[in-house]
Amino acid sequence: MMMVQDGFAQLADCGFRVFTSVVSRANENRGILDAGSKTLTSDTGGLNGFGHINEYPEASIIKFSEEHGFLDLEDCKMKPSVGDIVTVIPNHVCVAVNMVDELVMVQNNTILQTVPVAARGMLV
C-alpha cells in the first residue's frame, strides 16, 4: 500500500495479499480479523491503518494485537460477517513476507504452488 499511496502502483498491481477471516463482530461497526501484527506487521509505512481490505475498501484496520486485527466498519455500506474470508494488502510487503515460512501462489482462487521464504528472519 505504500507504493499505491506514493503513486507508483495501483491496487491491481499489488500481487501480495493476505487471506484472513472475520472471527468476531461485536457490534455493527466493529469486527476482528484473525490476522494481527505477526501477519500484517505493525509497520504503517506512514499510512492510516494497517492495510487495505479489498472486499471492504471503506473498512479500516485500526489496531492490532499479535494475532488479531481490529476493524472499524463505520464507513462500510456492506459489512462482513463472521466467517467471511477477506484479502488484505499490507502496508509494507517486505516485512509481511518476512513473517511467514512460505508463500502460496494463487490465481483465480486456484493454488498454483507454494514458495518457501528462504531468508525469513535472516540478517545480511
Query: Could you identify the residue written with the cell 510487503?
Result: 93
Amino acid residing at 79: K
Q: Residue 59's domain is classified under what CATH number? A: 2.40.37.20
Q: At 115, phi and psi to the nearest 5?
A: -130, 120
What pLDDT, in 10s, does the model give residues 16-65? 999 999 999 989 999 999 999 999 988 888 888 999 999 999 999 999 99
C-alpha cell at 110: 486456484
Assess if residue 8 is contained within a domain. Answer: yes
Q: From the CB of residue 86, how many other CB atoms can be counted at a distance below 10 Å?
A: 20
Domain assignment present for residue 122? The answer is no
Q: What domain range is 31 assigned to?
A: 2-116
Write down the pTM of the prediction.
Answer: 0.88
Does residue 121 fall inside a structural domain? no
Q: Does residue 123 fall inside a structural domain?
A: no
The helix or strand, by DSSP H or E, that contains position 93, with its residue range, turns out to be helix 93-97
Angstrom distance (rounded) from CA 51 to CA 55: 12
Total domain count for the chain?
1
